[in-house]
Amino acid sequence: MKIIVLVKEVPDTYGDRKLSLESGLADRSGEVVLDEISERALEAALTYAEANAGTEVVAIAMGPESVPTALRKALAMGAVKAVHVLDDGLVGADLGLTAEVLAAAVRREGFDLVVTGNISTDGSGGALPSMLAELLEVPAATNLSSFQIADSTLSGHRTLDQGSYEVSATLPAVISVTERMPDPRFPNFKGIMAAKKKPFETVTLADLGVATDDESVSRSIVISVAERPARAAGVKIVDEGNAGEQLAEFLIAQKLA
């Protein structure tokens, strides 16, 4: 069985995340990291692979020249191969183009199962797994908090805003997992060393046969970007026995109670 895990490089949420006010593009000059939810998706795939001989996990990412660092981490965690889709034509790609490119990359690699995070830390779209399933013409089971695979059928628990579903899908399929999945492993020294020898492929749009200039396809475009003023911290007091009363006065003065 071949499991493709789609991983994403994102600006580190522990730093200040910036958008360019001219281009609307994410400013990647700060720290960038492998998205935590991507790590969970990898962990889920690797856990399955370890328990089921003959399963290989391949990590695929689309993004700029900094992405190999995130992919190396995926290899160090245990993926057997990494594929980086790198092309200047992808700068500012919308969800539609991203889905087309990733679908082409997944097809080219071949797959039984595609695993992604449910929602990325930066774009917070949560749309890509379903778009991918539509383009790959396979079932999608999104937002899974757990899953099992038996006899080429995947079954899982899907948590919704109100309530939950038990779902199943015949492989090949696309799934997305939530942060309720087990914590990802840390790459160990052996894994980091082994990662250096693993296959690492870089592919372009031409390799994937994806054209970006098809005008019959509508794209989502950014037309303006504005920065909201940063929030300034207000008053901070240490409770000396009457903080609750002080807070009550504050709320009443602000007409909030």
Partner 1 sequence: MTDFPQDSVLVLVEVSPSGQVQKSAAGLIGAAAGVGTPVALVVTAPGLGQAAAEQAAAYGAGTVLIAESADVTTKLSTPAVDALVAAAAKIQPELVLVSNSIEGRDVAARYAARTRSALAVDAIAIARDEEGVVASHSVYGGAYLVDSAASAGTLVATVRQGAIDARAEAAPLAAQVLEVAAGSAPAATITSIDEAVIVSGRPELRGAAKVVSGGRGLGSTEQFELVNELADVLGAAVGASRAAVDAGYVPTSYQVGQTGVSVSPQLYIALGISGAIQHRAGMQTSKTIVAINKDDDAPIFAVSDFGIVGDVFTVVPQLIAALKARKA
Rounded CA gap, 35 and 9, in Å?
6
Q: Which of residues 238-257 bind partner 1 (CB under 8 A)?
A: 238-239, 242-252, 254, 256-257
Quick one: which segment of 38-46, 114-122, 196-204, 205-213 binds partner 1 (CB under 8 A)?
Answer: 114-122
Q: Which of residues 2-31 bind partner 1 (CB under 8 A)?
A: 13-14, 17, 19, 24
Does 112 engage in binding with partner 1 (CB under 8 A)? no
Does 166 engage in binding with partner 1 (CB under 8 A)? yes
Cα within 13 Å of Cα(169), Cβ side: 22
Amino acid in the structure at residue 149: I
Q: What is the closest distance, in whole angstroms, from the C-beta atom of residue 46 to partner 1 in the complex?
A: 22
Q: What is the closest distance, in whole angstroms, from the C-beta atom of residue 92 to partner 1 in the complex?
A: 11
Rounded CA gap, 251 and 257, in Å?
5
Q: What is the closest distance, in whole angstroms, from the C-beta atom of residue 95 to partner 1 in the complex?
A: 5
Q: Are 101 and 93 in contact (CB under 8 A)?
A: yes
Does 216 engage in binding with partner 1 (CB under 8 A)? yes
Size of the site for partner 1 (CB under 8 A): 87
Q: State which of residues 42, 46, 49, 169 lies at the interface with partner 1 (CB under 8 A).
A: 169
CA-closest candidate to residue 6, choices 191, 132, 137: 132
Q: Which of residues 33-92 bind partner 1 (CB under 8 A)?
A: none
Q: Which of residues 118-137 bind partner 1 (CB under 8 A)?
A: 118-119, 121-135, 137
DSSP secondary structure of 154-203: EEEEEE-SSSEEEEEEESSEEEEE-TTSPPPPPP-HHHHHHHTTS-EEEE
State both tokens at 44: 């889920």
